[in-house]
Structure 1
Amino acid sequence: MSSTIEHAILMLHLFKGVTTQSGPVLNSFCAWKALPADFLKLNVDGPTFHHLHKAGIGAVLRDQARKVLMVASKGEREVVDPEMIEFLAVLRGLQFVVYMSISQLIIESDCLFVVSQLNDSEFVAISPWASIIADIRHLLFAFLDVKISHVSRLGNGVAHKLARHAWEVESIQMWWEGFSNFISQAIWLDSRL
C-alpha cells in the first residue's frame, strides 16, 4: 500500500515539473502572434477523410484584435494526398478572401512542407502540386504584401475544427462577421493562448 502512495506522489511531482516547465514554452510556440499594422491573418487547414474519399478545408480570417471576419468549411472530393489538400487549403482560403480588398495578409498553415514550398522562390514546375502552387502564386499578386508562415497545430485550432467539420459539408459553408457555435470553444481557447 505504501509503495502505491509513494508512486502516486512521485507521479504527481513529475507531472507538476513537466507542466510548469512546458507551459510557457508551449504557450510561446502556439500563442497568437501580434499582427503588424494593417495586416489580417488567414489560418487554413486541410485534413483528408480516406473512408469517405473526401477531404475538408477550413479557413478563418481575423483582424489584429482577433475579431473573426470570415470562416469557411468546404468539402473536397477525391483528394487523398495530405500535401495536396494542404496546398488546396491555401488556394481556397485565398479564393475566399481575394475580393475583400485586403492589401496586407498573413497566411498561417500547420503544414511546414507547404509553407516552405510557397516561400521557396525557386518554382519546380514538375512537382505534383505545380499547378496549385502556380494558382496560389497568381492569387498572391492581388495583395500588396503577403507573408506565409508556419503555426503549430495547437495554434491552428479554429481552422482545423472548420476543416474537420467539412466532412459534413457537401459544397461550402461560410459565415461573415460571425461564426457557428461548433467553433466557439476553439475561438475562445485560441483567444486564451
Structure 2
Amino acid sequence: MRECGTKKTLLLVKLASFLHHVRLQEFRFHNMKQTHSHPSRARVVRWCAPAAGFLKINVDGSFNHITRKGGLGFVVRNELGHMLAGGACPLSGLISPEHAEILACKRAVEFAADHALIPAVLETDASEVKRQLTQHISSNTSVLGRIYDDVGNFLETLMGISVSYVGRKGNLVAHTLAAHACTLRQDSFYFSTPAFLQSAIAAEFCNV
C-alpha cells in the first residue's frame, strides 16, 4: 500500500511540474507577443503586399485559456492585395496560445501546398513561432516540438515558402478569421472574400 501511495505521489508531482512548465511557456509567449504588438510611435505597423510573382499567407491563432478551445485563420493574397483563398478552423485541446499559432502555420502551409499557392511568404504575428521556424536545425525538445518539427521539415521539403513576422496591427485579416473560427463547428475555406471579412480586407488594402 505504501509503495502504491508513493508512486501516486510521484505521478502527481510530475503532472504538477508539467502543468507549471506549460503555464510558464504560455505566460512568456503571451508577454512576448504583447511586447511586439506595441511598436514605437515612430514606426507604423501595417500589412504590406508581397513582391510581384509571390503570394503572402497571413496566419493567426485564437486561444481561450478556460475552455482550452480556440481557432486558427489564414488568408492568401497576391501582390495586388486581392484575396485568393483563406480558411477558418475551430480548435480544441489546446495547451497555450503558441499551440494555436503553430497549428495555424501548419494548416496554412498544408493548404498552400495542396492548392499550389507558392512561392509565398508565410507571415505570423507571433515572434516566437517565427523564430522557431526560421531557426529550425535539429529536433525541437519543447512541449510543442513535434509540431514545430513537422512544419519545419515540410517547409524544407516544399521550398518556395519563407517565414516572416509582422505586428498584430498588420495581421488584421488573419486575426478576424481566427476569431470567426471560434464560432464554427467545422473547418471553413474560402476562395473569394466572405462578407464578414470585407471590412478587414478593405482596411489593409490601402497599404498595398
Identify whether the pair has TM-score above 0.5, normalized to the shorter chain: yes
Number of aligned residue pairs: 168
Q: Does residue 40 of structure 2 align to residue 25 of structure 1?
A: no
Deviations 1:115-143 (A, max 9, x none): 01101143343111111012112321453
Q: Spell out the pairing of 1:25-174 with structure 2 (5 A cutoff).
A: 25-26=43-44, 29-32=45-48, 34-141=49-156, 143-174=158-189
**C-alpha distance after superposition, 1:141-181 (max 9, x if no partner):** 453422100001010000000000111111211111x1211
Residues 9-43 of structure 1: per-residue CA shift (max 9 Å, x gap): xxxxxxxxxxxx94x732xx3241x4233211100
Between the aligned partners of 1:118 and 1:81, the Cα distance in structure 2 is 17
Gaps of 5+ in 2: 1-39
Q: TM-score scaled to structure 1, two decimals?
A: 0.80
1:16-71 deviation per Cα after TM superposition (whole angstroms, max 9, x unaligned): xxxxx94x732xx3241x42332111000001023443110000001111110111
DSSP 3-state at the match of 1:140 = helix
Report if aligned partners of 1:42, 1:108 keep a CA contact under 8 Å in 2.
yes
Unaligned runs of 5+ in 1: 1-20
Question: How many percent identity over aligned positions?
Answer: 28
More deviation in 38-47 or 137-146?
137-146
Distance 1:78 1:121 in 2: 25
How far apart, CA to CA, are the structure 2 residues paired with 1:121 and 1:52? 31
In 2, Cα distance between equivalents of 1:112 and 1:119: 11
Paired residue for 1:188?
Answer: 202
3-state SS, counterpart of residue 47 of structure 1: strand
